[in-house]
Structure 1
Amino acid sequence: MPQVVALYRHPIKGFTPESVESLTVQADGRVAGDRVLAFRFADAATPEERDGLDHWPKAKGLALQDFPALAALHTRYDDAHGRVRIEHDGAVLVEAGLDDAGRAELTDAVTEFVRGTREGRRLERPGRLPLVLVGDGETSRFQDRARGYVSLHSRASADALGEAAGTGIDDRRFRSNIVIDGVDAWAELEWNGEVRIGDVVLRTEGPIVRCLATHANPDTGERDVKVLTTLTGALRQNEPTLGRLFLPAPQSDGQTPVGVIRVGDEVHVL
């Protein structure tokens, strides 16, 4: 029986995810605590709103696509106390709250780190400094897409990519919320209709076309696997695709429920 083998959330957009035991799917289709903070470039506008839902294109602030070294920063977010802890190479780079002083401390530490990386010169381009830590720490709003979505991929798909690339592939590289096992490679791309994970029913949306962010090793920040050209070359895909998007399935009364997905939950294609 297919089941959930890993769950992730990304409190800070563009940073390596946190591994968690459960995820709450919100009524708007997003994951609680996911992309609730972001480091905005100085000249970027506030998050746009389309149909009442915010989103945050990668070009507005720090993201792995242009700053792969960010993957080497491991974050933990304490929701209850509004505190962010960022580590690098096993040592604490910074830990602070989300008050004005804490945001300044977090921003200064991340700015200094990025300046010292291979991509540091990109931060010096006009309009990018000073960085600003935005987000209230509660509202999930810094997704790439206006609609949000819950993301999922199978371990078999990641393994098939790794075999084609000639190296092991870490699930975190794809920044999915949900990783499942017990299905064939690419099976999730063939699903249509509704899927039940534990007690949560989701409806299938589009496939996930990947970007350069997947080239970054989630521990070192090095671009060490050519994911995009492996998908379109060795695996003969028309577009570099791995994983699937989902939204909660509406109930008979027209309301979309909030549900919790846990590691070990079974996956049923309805």
Structure 2
Amino acid sequence: MASPDFATIAALYRHPVKGFTPEPLGEASLGAGRAFPGDRLRAVEIGPSGFDPASPDHISKMRFTVLARLPGIARVRTRWDEATDTLTVSAPDATDLTVRLGLAGDDRRLEAWLTDFLGEQATAPLRLLDGAGHRFMDDPAGAVSVLNLASVRDLSRRLGEEVDPLRFRANVWVEGWPAWVENDWTGRDLVLGEARLRVVKPIVRCVAAHANPDTGIRDIDVVSALHDLYGHRWCGLYLSVEAGGVLRPGDRAELI
């Protein structure tokens, strides 16, 4: 397939706590062999997840407070201050809470706040986990995720309703590639800003994308739509970082 036209980075997002609010960034500095900065640093387990901080390993997302299991957590808004490692949480009909992460008392206050918000959906004790370098990715190959906005628009057009790109919780949004061209790029290299990345594989979507990112209601069956319209369940790419560098909105996004 011919290389697509020159494209640019449209937006950058991190998700400091797995399953919670995407945070837009003005720039991100990628390191070779490392994950997207500030992304999935922590997670909230529901009952014992089996995570061992002394020997961290990949664990199924369904053991955590994620949209695939609890779509209503989309109604919780989180804001992380990296400099002070404080997290502020808010939700309708709840009092805002700000905690210093890593302090035992503050972690317990956050867990109690989330337990009150979830009510009966908190079917086991909640516990905030710090990866201490480990990233709580849906897939261990997912160091950086990239979303082609043209593909999302094509899905919206064929469905007859708008699909918000935030449903896909990607780190890098790209504008300028033809729709779905990225599905054939496994093993290819991309330049994003100053960094060079390698495509690991397309991202297989799950019911997390069904949840409206504002209301938490599962209002679009994205997985069935992808299968019925295109014969696959892909939307986006997982990449590894081969050579680090800074990327910003407006920077090039080019297939090598």
SS in 2 for 1:12: coil
Kept in 1: contact 2:51–2:57 (CA 8 A): no
Q: Aligned partners of 1:76 and 1:140: how far apart in 2?
A: 21
Q: Which amino acid aligns with 2:254?
A: H
TM-score by length of 2: 0.90
The answer for the alignment partner of 2:176 in structure 1 is: 182
The answer for the alignment partner of 2:241 in structure 1 is: 248
**Shift in Å, 1:140:** 4.6
- 5+ long unaligned stretches in structure 2: 1-5
Q: Which amino acid aligns with 2:35?
A: R
RMSD: 2.1
The superposition leaves residues 198-256 of structure 1 with CA deviations (integer Å, 9 ceiling, x where unpaired) of: 110001111000000000111111111110111111x132x31101111112xxxxxxx
Farther-moved stretch of structure 1 (147-156 vs 19-28): 19-28
Q: Aligned partners of 1:18 and 1:135: how far apart in 2?
A: 19
Q: Aligned partners of 1:17 and 1:86: how far apart in 2?
A: 13
Question: Is 1:24–2:21 an aligned residue pair?
Answer: no
**Shift in Å, 1:180:** 0.5
The answer for the alignment partner of 2:63 in structure 1 is: 60
The superposition leaves residues 41-90 of structure 1 with CA deviations (integer Å, 9 ceiling, x where unpaired) of: 232211589xx874232122211101001112121111110100122249
Aligned length: 249
The superposition leaves residues 165-194 of structure 1 with CA deviations (integer Å, 9 ceiling, x where unpaired) of: 221121110011010011111122223511
Moved over 6 A (4+): none
Farther-moved stretch of structure 1 (102-111 vs 18-27): 18-27
Q: Which amino acid aligns with 2:77?
A: H
Q: Aligned partners of 1:18 and 1:56: how far apart in 2?
A: 23
Q: Aligned partners of 2:12 and 2:108: how far apart in 1?
A: 30
Farther-moved stretch of structure 1 (204-213 vs 18-27): 18-27
SS in 1 for 2:230: coil
Kept in 2: contact 1:8–1:178 (CA 8 A): yes
Kept in 2: contact 1:153–1:188 (CA 8 A): no
SS in 2 for 1:217: coil
